[in-house]
Amino acid sequence: MSQDFFKTILFRSVCATRTISVFIAIAMIQGCSYFGGDDEDTSLLPAELIEFKETITVKKQWRASIGKSHEGLGIRLSPSTDGETIYAASFDGNVTALNAKNGRKIWKNNFDLTFTSGPAYKDGILVLGTSNGELIAVDSLTGELLWSVNVSSEILAPASIKGNQIFIRTVDGNLTALSIEDGGTLWTVNHKVPKLSLRGTTGPVSFANAVLSGFDDGKVSAYDINDGMLLWETMLTPPGGRTEIEKITDIDAPLVIQGSEVYAGSYQGALGGMALESGNLIWLIEASIYSGIATDDDDIYVSQADGSVMALSRFTGREIWKKENLLNRYPSAPALLENSLIIGDLEGYIHWLDKKTGETQQRISVGSSKITSTPLILDRTIYVLTDDGDLISILTLSNSS
């Protein structure tokens, strides 16, 4: 599958047994050198914003600065909530708790760390990961450090917390279970990392007695939460292509569990639905997924790597609609609010799309910074963390659609 929709991509390369993060700017222009080209291909420019009829009324409520920008670093720091408080972290080590209704700061702490994932919230504990492979747990009521441990490498995806266990994916291909009490390692499994892969990982998700994760080799695997024993493994996308770039089939978008199925998508590969108990593929279509997936009872919604947004049947994978209004706008993963998909883009716009038709219902600007993380939904309010470190609260007032 062609990569001509990216002007720049962040990659990881693997040298011997050591994983090194590298930034490679690639001019994705067909017929030209990756690192050259006389004329700009206008087909790679962000799509012009279309006119639309407003069918939803929204109101910006508050804005708070969380910390330093991580623009251009391929990091998805995502806010979380306990239902009353919003927790957010910044690249330069800030962790902040804010009142969800008015944005007033409850507490703020700086840990002199470089955060690249989190905060994940569960039962009074926040878990965050860093670029240097540190994992920390923080008391959500006070912001005080509970414990800190070193793991095998950088953490780019949020942790999953279940019972007394924390599950993390690191960029070296490890999936690790740790004790929530002190961060002690309970078990670790490893997937070999390809020579070249996108900068990013999918976070683990737990279900019943299993924890699931996608890997850079295009596989989705399920492990017993108690001892890490492999329960099943499914190859979503076998590597193809002639070059190392063409062979990239990372599963970096978060896995989504709905009903008795799990849904996964890979970069320049496939999108599929699998049975939770066995990993058997129910359906599979060609797709290129990097940012994420959302589901409801009947359908699945995806932002593709080229910027197109699709809705498909959750049960068959049949396409319901596809819109290309956000081509090359690097859309975030969609979040669901009533009859709308909420999506951020590279120019700081928030888009409301009708989930039944894909038509634009509303659009507002929250600044000029890219929105990489998935919008957080709490009741009828949307919380968006921009890549320059601003957290914005937007209330949905009415929906006339």
Flag whether pLDDT at 233 surpasses 90.
Answer: yes
CATH second-level architecture of 9-399? Answer: 7 Propeller (2.130)
Q: How far apart are CA 167 and CA 202, in angstroms?
A: 12
pLDDT at 161: 96
Flag whether pLDDT at 313 surpasses 60.
Answer: yes
What ranges do the domains of the chain cover?
9-399
pLDDT at 253: 87
Q: pLDDT tens, 125-145?
A: 999 999 999 999 999 999 999
Least confident of 104-118, 243-257, 280-294: 243-257
pLDDT at 197: 59
Q: How far apart are CA 158 and CA 203, in angstroms?
A: 6
Query: Quick one: pLDDT band at residue 76, thresholds 50, 70, 90?
Result: confident
The mean per-residue pLDDT over the stretch 229-240 comes to 87
The mean per-residue pLDDT over the stretch 176-186 comes to 98
pTM to 2 decimal places: 0.89
pLDDT at 82: 97
Is-contact 373 382, C-beta < 8 A? Answer: no
How many other β-carbons are positioned within 10 Å of the β-carbon of residue 265?
31
Query: Quick one: pLDDT band at residue 188, thresholds 50, 70, 90?
Result: very high
Q: pLDDT tens, 366-389?
A: 999 999 999 999 999 999 999 999
Q: pLDDT tens, 81-103?
A: 999 999 999 999 999 999 999 99
pLDDT at 42: 64
pLDDT at 200: 65
pLDDT at 251: 83
pLDDT at 30: 31
Q: pLDDT tens, 41-57?
A: 667 899 999 999 999 99
Percentage of the chain exceeding pLDDT 70: 84
End-to-end CA distance of the chain: 37
Query: Quick one: pLDDT band at residue 1, thresholds 50, 70, 90?
Result: very low
Which tokens sit at 70?
Answer: 């991580």
Percentage of the chain exceeding pLDDT 90: 75
pLDDT at 150: 97
Report helix, strand or coil for 44: helix
pLDDT at 24: 37
pLDDT at 191: 86
Least confident of 89-103, 235-249, 250-264: 235-249
Closest CA to 186 of 211, 203, 167, 172: 167
Is-contact 87 81, C-beta < 8 A? Answer: yes
